[in-house]
Amino acid sequence: MKILLIQPAKPERALGGEDFSIFEPLALEYLAAGVAPDHDVRILDMRLDHDLDSHLRDFRPDVVGITSYTVHVNTVNRLFQQIKAFNPEICTVVGGHHATVSPEDFYTPSIDLIIGGEGVFPFREVMLRLEKNLALSEIPGAACLENGAILLHQGDQDLDLNIFPLPRRDLTAAYRQSYFSEWMRPLASIRTSKGCHFRCQFCALWKLTGGRYLTRKPERIIEELGTIQEDYVFFADDESLLDTARMGALAGLIQESGIRKRFFLYGRSDTISHHPDLLEKWKKVGLERVFVGLEFMRDADLKTVRKGSTVENNEKAVQILKGLDIDIWPMFMIRPEFDRKDFTDLRKYCLGLNLDFIGFSVLTPLPGTDLYNDVKDQLISSSYDYFDFFHTLLPTKLPLNDFYQELASLFKRSRSLKSQIRLMRKYRLRELPSLFRAYGELMKRLKTLAQDYPVSLSSWRK
CA dihedral 447, 453, 457, 461 (to 10 degrees): -40
Same domain, yes or no: 448 and 374: yes
Residue 300: φ, ψ to 5°: -60, -40
- Mean pLDDT value of segment 333-341: 97
Query: In this predicted model, what pLDDT tens digit does every residue of 199-236 receive, in sequence order?
Result: 999 999 999 998 999 999 999 999 999 999 999 999 99
Q: Are residues 38 and 173 in the same domain?
A: no
Residue 72 belongs to what domain range?
2-153
pTM of the model: 0.95
* Residue 336: count of CB within 10 angstroms of its CB: 19
What is the model's pLDDT at position 305?
97
Exposure string for 38-77, b = 16+ CB within 10 A, e = fewer: ebebebbbbbebeebeebbeeeebbbbbbbbbbbbbbbbb
Q: φ and ψ at 263, to 5 degrees?
A: -95, 150
Q: What percent of the chain is predicted at pLDDT more than 90? A: 93
* Distance from C-alpha of 297 to C-alpha of 160, rounded to nearest angstrom: 37
443 and 381 in a common domain: yes
- Asked if residue 126 and residue 192 are part of one domain, the reply reads no
State the DSSP H helix or E strand holding residue 22, giving kind and residue range, or none if neither: strand 21-22
Choosing from 153, 184, 201, the residue where a domain stops is 153
Q: Are residues 112 and 166 in the same domain?
A: no
For residues 133 and 281, membership in a common domain is answered with no
What is the residue type of 274? H
Mean pLDDT rounded to a whole number for the chain: 95
- The CATH number that applies at residue 12 is 3.40.50.2300
pLDDT more than 70, % of the chain: 98
Claim to verify: residue 303 and residue 177 sit in the same structural domain: yes
pLDDT of 462: 43
DSSP state of 415: S
pLDDT digits (tens, 9 = 90+) for 380-418: 999 999 999 999 999 999 999 999 999 999 999 999 999
User: Of 153, 177, 200, which marks where a domain is finished?
Assistant: 153
Please check whether residues 37 and 178 belong to one and the same domain.
Answer: no
Same domain, 247 and 291: yes
Structural domain total, the chain? 2
**Are 288 and 211 contacting, i.e. CB atoms less than 8 angstroms apart?**
no
Q: Write down the pLDDT at residue 154.
A: 75
Q: What is the pLDDT of residues 169-195, one digit of tens each?
A: 999 999 999 999 999 999 999 999 999
Which residues sit opposite 64 in a β-bridge?
4, 92
- Cα dist. 167→115, 128, 224 in Å? 19, 19, 9
Range with lowest mean pLDDT among 53-67, 85-99, 303-317, 448-462 = 448-462
Strands 287-295 and 262-266: parallel
Q: What is the pLDDT of residues 240-276, one digit of tens each?
A: 999 999 999 999 999 999 999 999 999 999 999 999 9
pLDDT of residue 141: 86
* CA separation for the pair 260, 257 (Å, rounded): 9
Identify whether residues 122 and 235 lie together within a single domain: no
Of the residues 120, 153, 186, the one at which a domain ends: 153
Degrees, nearest 5: CA angle 431-435-439? 180
Has residue 420 got a pLDDT over 80? yes
Nearest CA to 239 out of 208, 263, 273, 205 is that of 205
Q: What is the CATH number of the domain that holds 392?
A: 3.80.30.20
Same domain, 173 and 104: no
pLDDT value for 454: 85
Are both 227 and 111 inside the same structural domain?
no
Q: Given a cut of 80, is residue 156 above it in pLDDT?
A: no
